[in-house]
Structure 1
Amino acid sequence: MSRCEEEIIEAVKDGYLSTDVEFLKEDSNCGTCSVTTLIHNGNLVVSNAGDCRAVLSRGGVAEALTDDHRPSRKDERDRIENQGGYMDCCNRVWRIQGSLAVSRVFGDRHLKQCVVAEPETTLLRITPECEFLILASDGLWDKVSIQEAIDVVRPSIIGVDKSESISACKKLVDLSVMKGSINDISVMVILFAHFLP
């Protein structure tokens, strides 16, 4: 983190691409999305590949720090088509070659010609109004809006012991299930109080 922003972004990219290489060595045709964060000296580095999201609570207002990688995004669609891939719309969901609904993942060997693992990375300074960060898979975000997630978590953790973040995660998972999510639901809440400079 003592390096310049461009070097940090490049290091994260190298980490994602190395992970993809290792993932592809496994005897599997599956794939997975990822969202990661690094906190160092009051700085926040958030990266994603796929449709896992990072959402910041800034004074109780939700702020998405990541953008889902879906074939419906013009930049992603252009990249896929330029690499010889195509998309189909199945039940109002754009899919790469009629299969995958995300355009960046680790693995998915059979679609590697047009599906990449290169992340998008956001860097920002943690300020006093930055309260917490929610990292979660699409099983949550398919059913729960980013502001709704902040509104559920915030009363559980602001001004209380940090161990309550586990309870807040459970509340989000339960809410998503109650709303009908049948996808995987992974949730992590990171409190910023201990990371302020």
Structure 2
Amino acid sequence: MIVAEADLIYRHQVVDLTAISTQVSRFDSVADCAEIIGDAVLESSAVKFVPRIRSGSYADIGPRRSMDDEHIRIDDLSSHLGSIFKPSMPSAFYGVFDGHGGPDAATYIKRNAMKLFLEDFDLPQVSDIDAVFLKELEDSHRKAFLLADLALAAEESISSSCGTTVLTALVLGRHLLVANAGDCRAVLCRKGVAVDLSQDHRPSFLPERKRVEELGGYIDDGYLNGCLSVTRALGDWDLKFPLGSSSPLIAEPDVRQIVLTEDDEFLIIGCDGIWDVMSSQFAVSHVRRSLRRHDDPEECARELVSEATRLNSSDNLTAIVICLSSPACVESSPPQRRRFRFCNLSEEARNRLKSLLEGN
């Protein structure tokens, strides 16, 4: 009887496996099948997802003698640009600017950020975002960085030895575009896992070092041409070749676009004073715990800066926390147990208590 039942189960498994094998044979491989299913699920999740944007920021001078960081935070971009998108589409814009050689270049970029990165470009009136629009948007952001670099060269009030790194993040509906030139960083929290959305442009990054050396520059003790710790920045025209020439130091950004899904909880963007002392995953885990405690992105940014200070960051500190999903579940305090105070009774008192309980 047991043998017969085992044989029946075995033949049933063989039938199931045969059916599965037939389905999988439609694809080139099991891996291809999984990839197709995964992409379909991701696309389905993305189509249904609408980010609920709210943010907070905090900046601190740190141990430096001057504050050269600047940042911009706009949770409702349509209120600044008008209704170029359908009203139900969320839109937001953020930027961090880490100045060097003084604060002037970073201050100029912040003051003119809307004009430089958005208003000067004729964004089409659209009811939805398609691939053509996204390509135009990416191209316009690249041009914006280069034109902002030229604007710094033309601004007589800014020294040619002054510059700034720039990282911007633009949210349009469920689309996120990050552009970066320098060593600021954007990190996405995807179900608790840190996903870097920018590359630190430092001489230690081998592709950047190779590009610099091929264009006649050199790296000395980790510094470009012995004086700058980044390989991409706006300004610093005393280190750049004349217009029209390829230069070791460039302002062209890396641009990355992603489609947000319900797995994407929040985005952190910050200057290098944060990332000098903590990894992307450390920062994401720290903010995630904070959101679960109090659900306040402003306080999260403050706590992240405080943690970088505790870890002995030697730079200015700026962080922006942008929540993308529904408010996190705030951890409630466990109910307090009622505490009883125990005391020792004398033998006489115990006897009296016993008599009372027995009704004597």
> Fold match, TM over 0.5?
yes
Aligned to 2:205: 73
In the TM superposition, residue 181 of structure 1 has moved relative to its aligned partner by 0.8
The runs of 4+ residues in structure 1 deviating greater than 3 Å are 1-6, 158-161
Counterpart of 2:173 in structure 1 is: 41
Q: Which moved more, 1:50-59 or 1:151-160?
A: 151-160
Aligned to 1:10: 139
Q: Which protein is richer in strand relative to its size?
A: 1
In the other structure, the counterpart of 1:178 is 310
Structure 2: distance between partners of 1:71 and 1:174: 28
Tell me how far 1:82 sits from its aligned partner: 2.3
Question: What TM-score, normalized to structure 2?
Answer: 0.50
Deviation per CA, 1:72-96: give whole Å up to 9, x if none: 222212221222211112xxxx111
Question: 2:225: which partner in 1?
Answer: 97
Could you say what secondary structure the match of 1:169 adopts? helix
Q: Whole-Å Cα distance in 2 between the matches of residues 153 and 189 of structure 1?
A: 8
User: What TM-score, normalized to structure 1?
Assistant: 0.89
More helix by share: 2
More displaced 10-residue stretch of structure 1: 139-148 or 3-12: 3-12
C-alpha displacement of 1:152:
1.2
Name the CA distance, whole Å, in 1 between partners of 2:190 and 2:267: 9
Is 1:190–2:322 an aligned residue pair?
A: yes
Computing the radius of gyration from Cα coordinates, the structure with the larger value is 2
Question: 2-side partners of 1:129 and 1:57: how far apart?
Answer: 8
Q: Give the superposition deviation at 1:5.
A: 3.9
Separation (CA, whole Å) in 2 of partners of 1:160 and 1:177: 21
Q: Which residue of 2 aligns with 1:144?
A: 278
**Aligned match for 1:20, one of 141, 145, 149:** 149
Aligned partner of 2:259 among 125, 128, 131? 125
What letter matches 1:47 in structure 2?
Answer: A
> Which ranges in structure 1 are unaligned for 5 or more consecutive residues?
none
Gaps of 5+ in 2: 1-128, 242-247, 327-360
Q: Give the drift of 1:71.
A: 1.5
Q: Tell me how far apart the structure 1 counterparts of residues 201 and 135 of structure 2 sit (CA, whole Å).
A: 21
Counting aligned pairs with the same residue, the percent is: 38
